[in-house]
C-alpha cells in the first residue's frame, strides 16, 4: 500500500481521467439522487458547491435544486481564500489552477444549517480525504463553524483504506459516491451523525 500522499494523488487522479463522459454523467445523477434524500441536505439553508474539473463528479443538478428551493449557494474562491455567493446566471471567471469561481471579492462563511460539498481525489471511511494538494479546503474548512456538515463527493473507486492524515487535514463527516452514502467513523463524524 502506498503511504505517500503525492503518489496516491497521482494514481487516483489518473484513474479519474479514465472515467468516460457517460460514467461521469451517470455518477452525477446517482449522487444527486442520494443527496436529495439526505437529511442534512434537506435541512440545509446554505449549500457550498463547486465547479467540477478533471472528471470530478459534477454537482450542477444539486445546485439547480438548491436555487429552486431558495437556498443560498456559495462556491470556493481562491482569491479570497474562502467562499463567495453565486446566483443563477451570474458569470464565473477562471481562477488559479483553472478552477472557475464567482466574479466577486465578497466572502461569506456558511453557518448551520449548511452543507459543504467537497470534491475528493481520495477518501477513506474515517473521513480522511485528499484533494488536489493546494490545501484550499483544509484552510477554509478549519475556519467554518464545526456544525456545518462536510460531505465529500467521490467515485467509489477513489476509496483508499488507511489514507495518511496530517494534523492540519480537516476530515469530512460523510462521503457520497455513485453507490452509497458513507457515515465516516472519525470521532467528530460520529458525534455529528448522532446529533451530539
C-alpha 77/C-alpha 4 separation (Å) is 28
**Rounded mean pLDDT, 70-88:** 94
Q: What is the pLDDT of residues 154-195, one digit of tens each?
A: 999 999 998 998 888 899 999 999 999 999 987 565 555 555
Q: 3-state DSSP helix/strand/coil percent for the chain, to nearest 5?
A: 35, 20, 45
* This prediction's pTM: 0.91
pLDDT in the model for residue 1: 46
| pLDDT at residue number 50 | 96
Four-residue CA torsion sign, 30, 33, 34, 35: positive
Check pLDDT > 60 for residue 145.
yes
The closest alpha carbon to 117, from 68, 65, 58, 161, belongs to 58
Residues linked to residue 84 through DSSP beta bridges, in sequence order: 75
pLDDT value for 196: 47
Query: Does position 2 have pLDDT exceeding 60, yes or no?
Result: no
Q: What percent of the chain has pLDDT over 70?
A: 93
Ordered domains of the chain (ranges, CATH): 5-193 (3.40.50.10420)
Nearest to 138 by CA among 184, 95, 164, 171: 171
State the average pLDDT for the chain. 91
Q: Kindly report the number of other CB atoms within 10 A of residue 78's CB atom.
A: 14
Task: Tell me which residue has cell 478552477.
Answer: 99
- The pLDDT of residue 180 is 97
Reported confidence tier of residue 64, pLDDT bands at 50, 70, 90:
very high
- Strands, E, within the chain: which ranges? 46-48, 72-77, 82-85, 92-94, 100-102, 114-119, 122-123, 129-130, 149-153, 174-176, 181-183
Instruction: In whole angstroms, give the CA distance from residue 31 to residue 50.
Output: 14
The angle subtended at Cα 81 by Cα 78 and Cα 82, nearest 5°, is: 105
The answer to whether 72 touches 79, Cβ cutoff 8 Å, is: no
Residue 98: which pLDDT band, with cuts at 50, 70 and 90?
confident
Q: Model confidence at 6, in pLDDT bands (50, 70, 90)?
A: confident
Nearest one of 98, 138, 120 to 177, comparing CA atoms: 120
Amino acid at each position: 500500500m502506498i503511504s505517500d500522499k503525492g503518489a496516491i494523488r497521482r494514481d487516483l487522479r489518473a484513474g479519474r481521467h479514465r472515467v468516460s463522459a457517460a460514467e461521469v454523467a451517470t455518477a452525477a445523477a446517482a449522487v444527486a439522487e442520494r443527496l436529495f434524500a439526505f437529511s442534512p441536505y434537506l435541512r440545509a439553508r446554505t449549500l457550498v458547491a463547486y465547479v467540477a474539473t478533471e472528471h470530478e463528479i459534477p454537482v450542477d443538478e444539486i445546485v439547480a435544486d438548491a436555487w429552486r428551493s431558495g437556498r443560498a449557494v456559495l462556491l470556493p474562491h481562491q482569491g479570497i481564500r474562502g467562499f463567495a455567493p453565486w446566483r443563477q446566471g451570474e458569470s464565473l471567471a477562471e481562477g488559479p489552477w483553472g478552477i472557475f469561481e464567482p466574479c466577486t471579492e465578497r466572502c461569506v462563511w456558511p453557518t448551520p444549517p449548511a452543507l459543504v460539498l467537497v470534491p475528493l481525489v481520495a477518501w477513506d471511511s474515517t473521513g480522511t480525504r485528499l484533494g488536489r494538494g493546494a490545501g484550499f479546503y483544509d484552510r477554509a474548512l478549519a475556519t467554518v463553524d464545526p456544525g456545518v456538515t462536510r460531505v465529500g463527493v467521490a467515485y467509489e473507486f477513489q476509496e483508499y483504506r488507511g489514507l495518511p492524515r496530517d494534523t492540519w487535514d480537516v476530515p469530512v463527516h460523510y462521503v457520497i459516491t455513485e453507490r452509497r452514502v458513507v457515515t465516516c467513523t472519525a470521532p467528530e463524524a460520529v458525534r455529528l451523525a448522532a446529533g451530539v
